[in-house]
Amino acid sequence: MKNYTHINDIDDINSWIKEAKALKKNPLKDIELGKNKTLGLLFFNSSLRTRLSTQKAALNLGMNPIVMNVSGDAWGIEFLDGTIMNGNTAEHIKEAAQVVSQYCDVIAVRAFPTLIEKEKDESELVLSSFVKYASVPVINMESATGHPLQGFTDAITISENATKKKPKVVLSWAPHIKALPHAVGNSFVQAMQKMDVEFVITNPEGYNLNPEITKDTPIYHNQKEALKDADFVYTKNWSSYDDYGKILKTDSDWMITNEKIGNAKFMHCLPVRRNLVVEDAVLDGENSLVIEQANNRTFAAQLVLKKILHNKG
């Protein structure tokens, strides 16, 4: 594996989960693998978990992580070809990616969507430009349309907590005050489609995710019906895909409560707004997996880095 930019870079999710669980048991067993190798983490957007867990993963492999907040601290980067750069951008991705490739053996990038320019977001302009111009492997730390480190983490967490062979997993939309990206929902859908689970999505009318991603996964507009007999409830807000980036609904009737989910395990990628997306009682209850999920981010990232380092030789 050269790059990790999409859930489809996972060739066999069950064997990856097995390998990640082994790393979790013995996180320092490959401490020599990344010796004298540098991981560059470039953030165009905020982060807590991705930023720290990916560095932790690198450290567990003996790598040296270096981090930059690109939007705040670097020169403004131009991504379009042939632009007369007489505006706010001071250097082109062609130079920037090649320069960073000289300092780093692997580059990890976080770049959210505009949620305004659908075509630009779907082209993954920032991530794909790094892949195009960098001479080293590139990892997606959440791009315009996907968060594959999170999706893989969620698959590990479900595998660890499943008490039956084929659990029912429900991805439920929940309210939010801001227009949020589709990336986490997309990658969770793609991860579940690779797993042996009964998987359904529930969201209000107008909030269906990209049908090219959801494919034949059942979508319910009745949350109660979807949540019936759920073993895992994964909650996330996203803005409308059809009415791109718009908030169509903010009222609380889709908020996740203990009453709605019963004995199901609760999952969320975090950060989460309490009593807007999900009530306190769920997050503070014994069925919440959110802290465990965040812990698994390290081992998902560590396995991805390990595979890339093995491939680099």
Shorter beta-carbon distance to ligand CP: residue 170 or 294? 294
47 annotated ligand binder: yes
Closest approach of Cβ 69 to ligand CP, in Å?
A: 13
Q: How many CB atoms lie within 10 A of CB 137?
A: 25
Residue ranges in contact with ligand CP by CB under 6 A: 47-51, 142, 150, 269-271
Q: In this complex, which beta carbon is closest to ligand CP, that of residue 150 or of residue 237?
A: 150
* Residue 223 annotated as binding site: no
Helix axes 148-161, 290-312, angle to 10 degrees: 120
Contact 21, 156 (CB under 8 A): yes
Q: Which two tokens stand for residue 86?
A: 């007489």
Of 67 and 219, which CB lies nearer to ligand CP in the complex structure?
67
User: Which residue minimizes CB distance to ligand CP?
Assistant: 50
* Residue 274 marked in a binding site: no
Q: Minimum distance from CB of 234 to ligand CP (Å)?
A: 12
According to the annotation, is 51 in a ligand binding site? no
| 149 labelled binding-site residue | yes
Least separation in angstroms between residue 72's CB and ligand CP is 16
Measured from the CB atom, the residue of 142 and 231 that comes closer to ligand CP is 142
Closer to ligand CP by CB, 30 or 142: give it: 142
Cβ atoms < 10 Å from Cβ of 159 = 19
Q: State which H helix or E strand residue 89 sits in.
A: none
Residue 96's Cβ-count burial label (10 Å; 0-12, 13-18, 19+) is: buried
236 is in an annotated binding site: yes
CB of residue 47 to ligand CP, shortest distance in Å: 3
Question: In the complex, what is the shortest distance from the CB of residue 12 to ligand CP, in angstroms, rounded to a whole number?
Answer: 24
* Residue 59 DSSP SS3: helix
Q: Which residues of 203-241 are buried (b: 16+ CB within 10 A; e: fewer)?
A: bbeebbbbeebbeebebbeebeebbeebbbbbbbbbbbb
Which residues lie across from 265 on neighbouring strands?
A: 232
User: What residue numbers does the annotated binding site for carbamoyl phosphate cover?
Assistant: 47-50, 75, 110, 147-150, 269-270, 297
**Which residues contribute to the annotated binding site?**
47-50, 75, 110, 142, 147-150, 176, 236, 269-270, 273, 297
